[in-house]
Structure 1
Amino acid sequence: MSYWPSLFGGMLIGLSAALLLLLNGRIAGISGIIGRLAQGAQVPANAAFVIGLVAGPVLFAIAFGRWPQVTIVASLPVILIAGLLVGFGTRMGSGCTSGHGILGLARFSRRSIAATVTFLVAGIAAATLMRLVG
């Protein structure tokens, strides 16, 4: 039964992404939403989406009576470098895993299929390399 929170969370992500597309005609790509919010564009809609993301752990705690368990074993410098690389990659790939992987695949976008395959291959390579090095 430990898969229920993950299944429920995945369903909520899919539902919110589908509703944003159907009701606003916008892709739920987190990097694009945060980028537009930082530029001051479409502030109410983008801020509402980001507030919803931040409220997620609170809603989890209310629903399940505990905070979500998060374990990070990397050092702070590694986390910062990884964050910068992810930010660079989202700009280079014209989107992030949420925009390409959730809605792009659902729309059969060739660019999103290529991006998602690249994300997966890079992730597998990085995990394999870290296991070999660590």
Structure 2
Amino acid sequence: MAQRRRQRDDRQQASSVSSEAKVRGRNNKVMNGAAGRDLTQNMDSGVAPDELAELRAALAAHAGQVADIEQAEEAVDAIEEELNSDRPRQTRLNLMLTGLTTSIGAATGVLTVVDKVRAVVNSMFT
């Protein structure tokens, strides 16, 4: 009996596979089949929360320098909503980021943060 158990354990160890995957977005379900059973892990990873928080802070700190602060804040909200949608669209996000850049104007302290957000967004689709 012990020998059978040990043989079964040896087969399971020999057939184990490890893998790595990038998961972005919200409410993703990661499934991994192993020895006839599925292991499920639900993920709620939010996209770019640190960068968006930094962008909002930069907008608040430089509100007097931003060409249209209201439009800029609305653009950030729309970008966050699109990022957290089931299927974020790169073209839509790039259009929103371009509009955000226009509404910011020459406030370089904010524009550098927008560039960080743009880099994170573009890395999602590569």
Q: Normalization by structure 2: what TM-score?
A: 0.30
**Larger % of helix: which?**
1
**Larger % of strand: which?**
2
